[in-house]
Amino acid sequence: MNYSAKAEGIRRVPIRHIILALLFIITTINYADRATISIAGSAIKKDLHIDSVTLGFLFSAFGWSYVVGQFPGGYLLDRFGSKKVYLASIVAWSLCTFAQGFASWLTPAAAVAALFVLRLLLGLAESPSLPANSRIVAAWFPGHERGTAAAIFNTGQYAALVFFSPLMGWIIHKYNWHFVFFVMGAIGLVAALVFAQVVYAPHSHPRVTVQEFQHIAANGALVDLDRSHDATKVKVRWDVVRQLLTNRMLVGIYMGQYCMTALTYFFTTWFPVYLVEARHMTVVQAGFGAVAPALCGVAGGIMGGLISDALLKKGKSLTFARKAPLVAGALLSTAIVLCNFTGSQGLIIAFMSLGFLGKGIAALGWAIISDAAPQAFTGLSAGIFNAFGNIAGITTPIAIGYIRQATGSFDVALMFVALHSILCILAYLFIVGPIRRFELESV
């Protein structure tokens, strides 16, 4: 390991915290690129003369390829390391986002087809991103810091709407919906340049101090995870995949992630449309209306991680420290159904905010898979975990589209989303069992 003379000194801000901050920013941009079509949804629906079911399928296109891409994405991370694969992913998804802006200049039928194909490509390009976050956190953070670290990068899903939904709503109102894609695509390419300069594996980072490296290595960080001579030896056999797909603890974790991700996809697809069509807000008002629930999601995510890690430090078991805040948060997230009982826009935002505070607290899945995945296959395990979770990206937008079309309202749709929180609680209480690192029978 090579260190510069400057790196040998005491650094006030640990490198792992700088890397985590960048992961948060990248994840925020990632989710903002996913959410572009939801912010533009009402304008696209009107401009292209499509119905709710067609819009639901457009929303779901991302999920189809994103799920399929998790398996090869996870393998590529284990095979080539986090930095190379993640950097290629950021560049590719930014170009896909940018290209969607050209769809507005096509005929309506061609525009719908182009958006669907580009959303498929976007999902494929983004598929390694969150598993890469999980690997980087596992490599850089001790076990007692991992819950907070994973919670922080995961709050990017809410921060995306905090930072970008007002901007995107203003761009659509001032110019046209296609400019949203141009702006977000350009932001992603700039982020890729920063990522290339900042993120390295612990053993090869030019600015990590000896003190920090020794601290994280001694406290459970997988500092050698991306050593090149180890990465080239990773070979995936069906027996490995079978074990990852049949272990009871992992299956319960996958199910829980699917259920909680359903809430994420409601928020990043239909929520702005709900505010415009059901609550009669303008697109600009909807953009700002999404900020309060998103901020609560950010706050809840950080709270969940801090509470979980604090419980660990107090000597509570890993199982209790992860499950207790998750179950409490999932229960609180059902508050979104209270929106069905009021016509007040203020109360609707308040109930949504309460629901997404709970959803944020419950978003400990990435910390849990970092705790539970076999070390040699952290990328593949995270890919499978993320694939199961993001099946909700296929089912939730389509189901809500059909529910909206059949009932003419969003009331049943909100009940459908809240039911997933209850199912998540049941999965963790009755299927997962004790949380511990899974040891493969043979590799």
Domain CATH number, residue 292: 1.20.1250.20
Query: Is 243 contained in some domain?
Result: yes
Does residue 442 lie within any of the structural domains?
no
* Among the listed residues 274, 261, 259, the one whose alpha carbon sits nearest the alpha carbon of residue 400: 274
Residue 31 has pLDDT above 90, yes or no: no
361-373 residue pLDDT tens: 998 888 898 889 8
Does residue 287 carry a pLDDT above 70? yes
Based on the structure, what is the number of domains in the chain? 1
Q: What pTM, to 2 d.p., does this model score?
A: 0.73
Q: How far is it, in rounded angstroms, from Cα 404 to Cα 410?
A: 6
Asked if residue 371 is part of any domain, the answer here is: yes
- Highest mean pLDDT among 229-238, 249-258, 378-387 belongs to 249-258
Q: For residue 6, is it within any domain?
A: no
Average of per-residue pLDDT values in the chain? 86
Cβ–Cβ contacts within 10 Å for residue 403, how many? Answer: 21
Are the C-beta atoms of residues 260 and 424 closer than 8 Å to each other?
yes
pLDDT at 443: 52
**pLDDT reading at 57 higher than 50:** yes
Q: Is 135 a member of any domain?
A: yes
> Looking at the predicted structure, is the pLDDT value of residue 3 above 50?
no
CA nearest 128: which of 159, 88, 155, 186? 88
Whole-number Å distance between alpha carbons of 141 and 418: 33
> Are 326 and 362 a contacting pair, CB within 8 Å?
yes
CA atoms of 91 and 30, how far apart (whole Å): 11
Residue 7 lies in a domain: no
- Amino acid residing at 154: N
350 lies in which domain range? Answer: 12-432
Per-residue pLDDT, 80: 87
**DSSP category for residue 204:** G
| Residues 6 or more apart whose Cβ sits within 8 Å of residue 174 | none
What is the distance between the alpha carbons of residues 157 and 298, in angstroms, rounded to a whole number? 8
Mean pLDDT along residues 74-100: 91
**Based on C-alpha coordinates, what's the Rg of the chain?**
21
The reply to whether 172 falls in a domain is yes
Give pLDDT tens digits for 189-224: 999 999 999 988 888 888 888 888 888 888 877 787
Dist. CA 367–CA 272, nearest whole Å = 29
- What's the pLDDT tens digit per position in 120-151? 999 999 989 988 998 898 888 887 888 788 87
Answer whether residue 214 is part of any domain: yes
